[in-house]
Amino acid sequence: MLKMTPLNATHRAMHAKMVDFGGWDMPLHYGSQLDEHHHVRRDAGMFDVSHMLVVDIHGENVRGFLRGLVANNVDKLTLPGKALYTCMLNPEGGIIDDLIVYFLSESWFRLVVNAGTADKDIAWITSQANRDAPHLTITPRRDLAMIAVQGPNARTKVWNVITGAQAISENLKPFQSATLDSYFIARTGYTGEDGFEIILPADDVVDFWQKLHTAGVAPAGLGARDTLRLEAGMNLYGQDMDETSNPFESGLGWTVDLKSERDFIGKQALQQAPVKQQLVGLVLLDKGVLRNHQKVITQHEGITGEGEITSGGFSPTLNQSIALARIPAGVAIGDQVHVVVRDRQLAAKVVKYPFVRNGQALI
Amino acid sequence: MSIPAELKYAKSHEWVKAEADGTVTIGITQHAQELLGDMVFVELPEIGRNLAQKEECAVVESVKAASDVYAPISGEVIAVNSELEATPEKINQDPYVAWLFKLKPADASELDSLLDAEGYGQLLESEEH
């Protein structure tokens, strides 16, 4: 039996093509994935992301517990409402999940974790808390829903729907959040566009979705979400990283704080492990479409190496195929590599990603 | 679902049109394009290539996936719709107009091994259950 978000019947009424996404019955598209992609880049689209899990941690000195739990440093969070993107590592430095941590008060932090890893995350966080901070309360919030409204006009359209939202959210910088009654409004997203991710009671989400739709926000499915995040160079857990890869091999070195003296789970392993691989962007030079798991053949200092595409696809904004690939360290930006597509080797160029931000091509 | 009565169909979701001059025109069905979604790339066979029945000979790729196209009957490729290389979305717009390639059949009796519209309709129904 597939799990359903509170918007399941709404998606079906809007003629969504539904797919099994990690055990959740989710909309893939509502007609055309390409149209939905362009709508987000050019105007405003909305995604039901209620399959993701909000986890609230309450109690004395939540910050102290999170200092040890995640690889980024929660001491960067000084202003209430501020958010931090981080990995949660196992002792070997492998990535258990990537998540966002919101600092709401010293006795209340909020995590948003991936759907497919939610049960594993809760078990892990609970076991760590039982050992290090048994006084904390860890609450998975399946009573909440979440909608991402993304695009250059997303914020304005949200303001037209939620009375009073503009006053509390127009000065939010990226990765800041504010609360208005039962709405938790964060200026975050997974598309490379401006917008909000809004957390609200599950009972209110159908009404809110319909109001956004009336205000001109187009529904967008997981298909567009994937092409948008790939263009934006954002990792997808389970594809671009998992427990067998560490942040340095996953393009996420910038989220790991090794400078501070604090210890965190996985730190020692990261300090000792040699980084043999890197995550890079690829742009296909030949005709075709790059796909997940295709083999990449590289050359570096005369040595032939091998890598793999972790996320490949067609970029609607660039009108060509792009990918994230894990390849040997040392292969440089601008180098040419070859990707094995069916019985052929296609030429691709190694590029720095993101590929697209705020509607603009960067490559 | 539109299944034109004048066409023949392969179980792998290609349509075949028998032309008056004895050649055949081949494309993918409405069902196939709906399943794949927005098309972004088409790889067509080389003109002059001799295909066996059921041989992989073209690839259509949507945003979602790559899908092989099989020769519904054996024959020599005599034309390809190279316009699709720049405008693959035409397959989504009308899959029965946006043909992929034309064959000169090696054995016209192989046409009898294909499904008619009714048979293809039944196949789609059975695949849904």
Distance (Å) from the alpha carbon of A130 to chain B's nearest alpha carbon? 43
pLDDT digits (tens, 9 = 90+) for B79-125: 999 999 999 999 999 999 999 999 999 999 999 999 999 999 999 99
Confidence label for A120 from pLDDT (cuts 50, 70 and 90): very high
- A-B contacts (CB, under 8 Å): 37
Interchain CB distance below 8 Å, A29 and B41: no
Per the prediction, chain B carries an average pLDDT of 95
pLDDT value for A363: 87
Q: For residue A245, give the amino acid letter.
A: S
pLDDT digits (tens, 9 = 90+) for B40-60: 999 999 999 999 999 999 999
pLDDT digits (tens, 9 = 90+) for A145-196: 999 999 999 999 999 999 999 999 999 999 999 999 999 999 999 999 999 9
pLDDT value for B128: 77
- Nearest CA-CA partner of A157 in A121, A186, A130, A196: A196
Residue in A with minimal Cα distance to B40: A314
Mean pLDDT of A240-261: 97
Q: Does A287 touch chain B (CB under 8 A)?
A: yes
Please give the order of strands across the beta sheet that includes A183-186.
A177-180, A183-186, A195-201, A144-150, A45-48, A218-219
Contact A101, A70 (CB under 8 A): yes
Interchain CB distance below 8 Å, B40 and A289: yes
A-facing residues of B in 31-90 (CB < 8 A) are 37-38, 40-41, 43, 59, 61, 63-66, 85, 89
pLDDT value for B127: 85
Distance (Å) from the alpha carbon of A229 to chain B's nearest alpha carbon? 14
pLDDT value for A4: 98
- Block residue for tokens 């427990």: A243
Q: Which residues contact A60 (CB under 8 A, 6 or more apart)?
A: A106, A107, A135, A136
Of B43, B63, B89, the CB nearest to A313: B63
Of A227, A287, A288, the CB nearest to B63: A227
Interchain CB distance below 8 Å, B37 and A33: yes
Per the prediction, chain A carries an average pLDDT of 97
pLDDT value for A311: 98
Interchain CB distance below 8 Å, B37 and A223: yes
Of A34, A223, A287, the CB nearest to B41: A287
Asked if omega into A354 is within 30° of 0 (cis), the reply is: yes
Distance (Å) from the alpha carbon of B89 to chain A's nearest alpha carbon? 10
Q: What ipTM was estimated for this complex?
A: 0.84
pLDDT digits (tens, 9 = 90+) for A302-334: 899 999 999 999 999 999 999 999 999 999 999
Q: Does A21 touch chain B (CB under 8 A)?
A: no
What string of DSSP letters covers A57-94? EESTTHHHHHHHHBSS-GGG--STTBEEEEEEE-TTS-
Interchain CB distance below 8 Å, B37 and A29: yes
- Residue B129 pLDDT > 80: no
* For chain B, percent of residues with pLDDT exceeding 90: 95
Interchain CB distance below 8 Å, B38 and A32: yes
Question: Distance (Å, rounded) from C-alpha A293 to C-alpha A341?
Answer: 10
Distance set, CA A217 to CA A179, A249, A345, A357 (Å): 22, 37, 42, 20
pLDDT value for B1: 67
Confidence label for B2 from pLDDT (cuts 50, 70 and 90): confident
Mean pLDDT of A10-25: 96
Tokens of A334: 């601008």
Contact B58, B26 (CB under 8 A): no
Burial of A199 (0-12, 13-18, 19+ CB in 10 A): buried
Residues of chain A found within 8 Å of residue B89, distances taken between Cβ atoms? 34
Interchain CB distance below 8 Å, A316 and B37: no
pLDDT value for A175: 98
Residues of chain A found within 8 Å of residue B63, distances taken between Cβ atoms? 33-34, 223, 227, 313-314, 316
Interchain CB distance below 8 Å, B37 and A32: yes
Strand ranges in A30-162 using DSSP code E only, listed in sequence order: 45-48, 53-58, 83-89, 95-105, 108-113, 137-140, 144-150
